[in-house]
Chains A and B, each alone.
Chain A
């Protein structure tokens, strides 16, 4: 289970890095003007936009929670096998929840 969380951490990381150019582009668009800002907000509400948002939300949440798990292990919390397994489950489920929320809300 730890291995699944770990590969999820890696895959989500690669996904996020690939999305970086687009993110910077969005930053620019969001500051370009009032029209650009509202058009951006509208595009995010569209089906494609919401799907993309859900994927990014999952990747961010997965990477974040797995990352927190790593930071805690760095200071010695959760280093045992059972704790490591439990925290892996927690990270994976939390990320799935965030993705679902992003998709539905």
Chain B
């Protein structure tokens, strides 16, 4: 795979999609079948290493998936080079900030 290979984006999107699929299935199942989630349960789940890692994994997959998807949309509709680079930078920065914020939230509660 080369640096700007189309295949890398394709594969990352598929892998992150599969991770998200598994997690969403798990979450949906838990919310649908298990008892109503209370604040304490939620809080303790995040505090455990397993719960925190799972959430971080989902967040990572989510932000990678969002980036590849949004980049595809921008590449399709935004043609002028300067505008395109600006939009991509804004989106990349936005997603990185959100990802960092999410990491911060999870880690402050886990550690």
Q: Which positions in A face B, CB cutoff 8 Å?
A: 10, 13-14, 16-17, 20-21, 24, 27-28, 30-31, 33-34, 37-38, 60, 64, 67-68, 71, 74
Q: Which positions in B face A, CB cutoff 8 Å?
A: 14, 17-18, 21, 24, 39-40, 42-43, 46, 62, 66, 69-70, 73, 94-95, 98, 101-102, 105, 109
Whether B39 and A34, one on each chain, are in contact in the complex, defined by CB atoms closer than 8 angstroms, is yes
Main secondary structure of the interface of A (DSSP, over half): helix
Known: A27-B105, A31-B42, A71-B18. 7 other contacts (CB 8 A): A20-B95, A24-B98, A24-B102, A30-B42, A31-B105, A37-B42, A68-B21
Whether B98 and A20, one on each chain, are in contact in the complex, defined by CB atoms closer than 8 angstroms, is yes
Whether A17 and B14, one on each chain, are in contact in the complex, defined by CB atoms closer than 8 angstroms, is no
Contacts of A60 in B (CB 8 A): 24
Whether A24 and B69, one on each chain, are in contact in the complex, defined by CB atoms closer than 8 angstroms, is no
